[in-house]
Amino acid sequence: MQVTATKALIFDFDGLMIDTETPEYQSWLEIYQEHNCELPLAKWCETIGTSHGTFDHYAYLETQLGRALERLSMRDKRRARFAELMNAQSLLLGVEDYICQARQRGLKLGLASSSPYSWISRHLEPLGLLQAFDTIKSADDVERGKPDPALYLAAVQTLGVAPTEAIALEDSPNGVLAAKRAGLFCVAVPNAITRELSFDLADLQVASLAELPLEQLLSLKDNPSCHLEPGLL
């Protein structure tokens, strides 16, 4: 079996680096509950990892109510609650260690997210991590977000590596599908929202990056003597 040494790591953002997804869902769920309506987690998860705007939260609620809503005031209230919930969030376990260890090993770092760049920079700049990446590909750079492979293909092209020379880190099935369609080795790291979903397409699945040191991951991917099987470590 021919082995291709890893030269780059490519991170997803939402739910992988910072859990923006739980506060987003919680803030919307509370709005629905105030109207005695339902926002099933399964419905919400269909669009996790895809481009913003693929699910109309207002229309889905209005359909259940059978009437139109005052969207502007609802938007302001929901955003305020989301901001409150986000204040309690920090980098997820293992993320900063992976970035530091990748730099020490001379690996290139990329970020591929279906969110716009303004959203990514808003959260990473205060943490001093915006400049840690050699490239950031966002919804601003492609016509189609995940599960389309365009973001990953753009990232590896800019980094100057082949897809087989990169590892993708993802928290959603849509993100995993995008990475695999682009030809990358992919590690699934589900969060509190996505952990019940299927990650059958991932090469590995771990509860957090903290439980899989980067050195071990590189050994698993790059060492032909490790007969790697998809699934949980």
pTM (predicted TM-score): 0.86
Last residue within a domain, chosen from 86, 104, 131? 86
Same domain assignment for residues 77 and 186: no
Q: How many domains does the chain have?
A: 2
Last residue within a domain, chosen from 86, 101, 127? 86
231: in domain? no
Whether the predicted pLDDT of 131 surpasses 80 = yes
Same domain assignment for residues 117 and 192: yes
Stronger pLDDT, 1 or 121, i.e. the higher one: 121
Establish whether 141 is a catalytic residue.
no
SS3 state of residue 207: coil
1: in domain? no
Whether the predicted pLDDT of 192 surpasses 80 = yes
Same domain assignment for residues 78 and 191: no
Last residue within a domain, chosen from 67, 86, 105? 86
SS3 state of residue 112: strand
Whether the predicted pLDDT of 232 surpasses 80 = no
Percent of the chain with pLDDT over 90: 78
Nearest one of 193, 202, 223 to 42, comparing CA atoms? 193
Same domain assignment for residues 141 and 166: yes
Q: Which strand ranges, in their side-by-side order, compose the sheet holding 185-188?
A: 135-137, 108-112, 8-11, 166-170, 185-188, 204-205
193: in domain? yes
Same domain assignment for residues 109 and 57: no
Same domain assignment for residues 25 and 15: no
SS3 state of residue 137: strand
CA–CA separation, 209 and 187 (whole Å):
9
Same domain assignment for residues 43 and 122: no
101: in domain? yes
Among 12, 19, 141, 171, which one carries the catalytic annotation? 12
Same domain assignment for residues 114 and 207: yes
Adjacent-strand bridge partners of 109 = 9
How many residues are present in the chain? 233
107: in domain? yes
Residue range(s) defining the domain that contains residue 46: 21-86
Main-chain dihedrals φ then ψ at residue 85, nearest 5 degrees: -70, -35
Establish whether 12 is a catalytic residue.
yes
